[in-house]
Chains A and B, each alone.
Chain A
Amino acid sequence: MALLSINDIHVYYGVIEAIKGISFEVNQGEIVTLIGANGAGKTTILHTITGLIPPKSGLIELEGVDLTKTPAHKIVSMGIAHVPEGRRVFQQLSVYDNLLLGAYTRRDKAGINNTLSKVYESFPRLKERRNQVAGTLSGGEQQMLAMGRALMSAPKIMLLDEPSMGLSPLLVAEIFDIIKKVNESGVTVLLVEQNAKMALEIASRAYVLETGRIVMSGDAKELSTNDQVKKAYLGG
């Protein structure tokens, strides 16, 4: 059974259908990527999974449990952490407070401290800046904080929405390196990207999204050599 399975979801903004019947799945331990141009519906799919937008119809299941009716604030404790587009760290709170909010639903103090030291290990810069107000961090550091904050919930699966957005190539490489390490530590990853080249490099499987529909899917390596994909998403 898949860890996360999405079955024929339709999502509307008013009368406009943004997601027109999408199905896909993410298995335990995988990195799966959803690639597609701006406006294809990538963010909408992640928001639907975490309950920020209700789907009009369809089924979202985590380990066979239906999440479609679960309110957004109950999703994280079920094991899904969402690193939203644009980071959305709490600007006026310290790095440390942001990280602790990531563990908001957890009650085990020892476990939280354990996760915190692991997060600081993966992101030494966050440890250095733990008392700094998040709004004063650079874009790359805010991305790290958003990821660290998500990891604080000790998730089964992490949803990442365009982690490379607005970052220098060097930083993008660093962030993708961390994503790989996070995955190796046992967290399943669903990665949404416009940067298809990088995403296809680290993912095992990929889905290609076009205006609310999946138009192609398969092994990430194979897709990266596919002519159509090359032309549309890899710049030739």
Chain B
Amino acid sequence: MSFLNYLISGLSLGSIYALIALGYTMVYGIAKMLNFAHGDIIMVGGFTVFTAISSFQFSPAISIITGIIVCTVLGVVIEKVAYKPLRNASSLSVLITAIGVSYLLQNLALLIFGSSSQNFSSVVTMKPWQINKQLVISGETIVTIIVTTAIMIALTLFVNKSKPGKAMLAVSEDKGAAQLMGINVNKTISVTFAIGSALAAVAGILLCSLYPQINAYTGQMPGIKAFIAAVLGGIGSIPGAMIGGILLGIIENLSKAYISTQLADAISFAVLIIVLIIKPTGILGKKITEKV
């Protein structure tokens, strides 16, 4: 395989990390919490589509929509039931709750689907793109790059140009002042969880199509990687999550190709540590200003 091949597959993996990282970073920005159950939403999205196709014989399009709806609702419900009652609790309690939710989702998946991996049939029907003898790009890769680019553009426009988007920015900066403007903070937090979970569903479906296997732990590693990506880019920063995700995907793939498959994850962590030493707030992270 050529360098270009590794680069392109790294780009598609990275754009999936970016989608997941967006959920982490937006929820962090608005609710000031690390939602460690976010990665498991990916797995729920994957299993929903898997079930819709294999048990209900839904078309891929309907299955995808079902997966997105299930994850969106699940994300909002998790926030309402598990996190909202802890709005004024210490961040440690919230973190432990998030880890608890993560285990709950994984164990429910174990209970329903068992512990062995299932074969996921790709939802992408596009043919591979043969550029020359060495360079073949799979349909999944092309679709992933197109879909994630479109989502990232749409999300950037939504946040910076629309009224609810600006309300989100206001809440992430100063909840009290946002309330004085008439912004409903609880509603804004719900919308943020909904968007983050919908993005995780899309990421899960694309991921399972690229690597056509699924089990209860499918979301774990991508979740951790996306978390690294969000911190790398600057937690709370939307463009940061995009850059962090794509960088991480490319670094991971190139490390696997040219250095060592076993060391690839260690290299990703090393990059994170080096970036944080040079710039503790991440690539695009702002100075953390604590408000009293």
Which residues from chain A sit less than 8 Å from chain B, CB to CB? 50-52, 71-77, 81-82, 84, 88-93, 97, 100-102, 104-105, 149, 153
Contacts and interface: CB of A to CB of B under 8 A. Distances in A.
Interface string B94-131: 00000000000000000000000000000000000000
A73 B184 contact: yes
A219 to B, nearest CB: 31
Contacts of B178: 73, 101
Interface string B144-177: 0000000000000000000100110110011011
A65 to B, nearest CB: 17
Nearest to A83: B180
Contact of A92 (B173, B177, B180, B183): B173
Given A75-B182, A89-B177, A90-B169, 7 more contacts: A73-B184, A90-B170, A93-B170, A93-B173, A104-B181, A105-B182, A149-B181
B185 interface: yes
A91 B289 CA distance: 11
Top 4 closest pairs, chain A to chain B, by CB:
A105-B182, A72-B179, A88-B177, A76-B182
If over half of A's interface residues share one DSSP class (helix, strand or loop), that class is named, otherwise mixed; here it is: loop
Nearest to B172: A92
Contacts of A76: 180-182
A75 B177 CA distance: 12
A100 B184 contact: no
B128 to A, nearest CB: 43
A104 B179 contact: no
Nearest to B174: A88
A51 B167 CA distance: 19
A73 B185 contact: yes
A82 B177 CA distance: 9
Contacts of A93: 166, 169-170, 173
Contacts of B176: 52, 72, 84, 88
A208 B183 CA distance: 33
Nearest to A102: B181
A77 B169 contact: no
Nearest to B167: A104
Nearest to A93: B169
Given A73-B182, A73-B183, A74-B182, A100 B166 contact: yes
17 contacts: A52-B176, A52-B179, A72-B179, A73-B178, A73-B184, A77-B182, A81-B180, A84-B180, A91-B173, A93-B169, A93-B173, A100-B166, A101-B166, A101-B181, A104-B167, A104-B183, A153-B182
A52 B177 CA distance: 10
Nearest to A106: B182
Contact of A90 (B163, B173, B182, B184): B173
A212 B163 CA distance: 39
Contact of B177 (A51, A84, A100): A84
A149 B180 CA distance: 10
A220 B173 CA distance: 38
B163 A104 contact: yes
Nearest to A52: B176
Interface in B24-51: none
A92 B170 CA distance: 9
B278 to A, nearest CB: 23
A51 B175 CA distance: 13
A104 B182 contact: yes
B180 A72 contact: yes
Nearest to A91: B173
Given A52-B176, A84-B177, A104-B163, A92 B182 contact: no
A50 B169 contact: no
Given A72-B179, A73-B182, A82-B180, A101 B170 contact: yes
A104 B179 CA distance: 10
A71 B184 CA distance: 9
